[in-house]
Amino acid sequence: MNRGYEGTVAAPYESTSAGIKDRQGTLARLMIAPAIAYIVALIGIPFVMAILYSLSDVTTGDPSVDLVGLRNYREVFNDPVFRLSLKNTCLFALVSQTLVIVLSRILATLLMKEFRGKWLARFLVMLPWTAPIALGTIGWLWMLDSIFSPIDWLFRRAGLLGAPGDLLGPMTNLYWLGEPVLAMASVIFVHVWRLLPLATVIQLAGLSSISKEILEAAEVDGAAGWRKTLEITIPLTLPIIGIAFLFGLVFTFTDMTVVYVLTRGGPVHSTQVLSTWTFFKGIEGGDLAQGAAISLFLFPVLAGVAALLLRMARRAEVT
Instruction: Write the pLDDT tens digit of every residue in 80-120.
Output: 999 999 999 989 999 999 999 999 988 988 888 888 888 88
Q: Report how far residue 156's alpha carbon sits from residue 144's, in angstroms, rounded to the nearest whole number.
A: 15
Kindly report each contact of residues 113-121 with a partner whose C-beta sits within 8 Å and lies 24 or more positions away, as own/partner.
none
Q: Report how far residue 204's alpha carbon sits from residue 112's, in angstroms, rounded to the nearest whole number.
A: 7
pLDDT at position 277 is: 93
pLDDT at position 82 is: 93
Could you tell me which residue, 165 or 16, shows the higher pLDDT? 165
pLDDT at position 315 is: 64
Residue 14 scores a pLDDT above 70: no
Tell me what the mean pLDDT of segment 308-317 comes to. Answer: 66
Mean pLDDT of the residues in the chain: 83
Could you tell me which residue, 26 or 265, shows the higher pLDDT? 265
Q: Report how far residue 75's alpha carbon sits from residue 294's, in angstroms, rounded to the nearest whole number.
A: 10
Helix axes 80-111, 118-130, angle to 10 degrees: 160
- Domains of the chain (ranges; CATH) run 1-54 (no CATH), 75-318 (1.10.3720.10)
Burial of 254 (0-12, 13-18, 19+ CB in 10 A): middle
Tell me what the mean pLDDT of segment 20-25 comes to. Answer: 64
What 3-state DSSP class applies to 73?
Answer: helix
Tell me what the mean pLDDT of segment 234-257 comes to. Answer: 83
Lowest-pLDDT range of 89-98, 178-187, 255-264, 293-302: 293-302
Give percent above pLDDT 70 in the chain.
86
Burial string for 84-100 (b: 16+ CB within 10 Å, else e) reads: bbbebbeebbebbbebb
pLDDT at position 192 is: 93
Tell me what the mean pLDDT of segment 263-280 comes to. Answer: 92
Residue 64 scores a pLDDT above 90: no
Inter-CA distances, 226 with 16, 180, 220, 222, 234, Å: 61, 37, 15, 12, 10
Give the confidence band of 29 by pLDDT, cuts at 50, 70, 90: confident
pLDDT at position 316 is: 56
Could you tell me which residue, 281 or 314, shows the higher pLDDT? 281
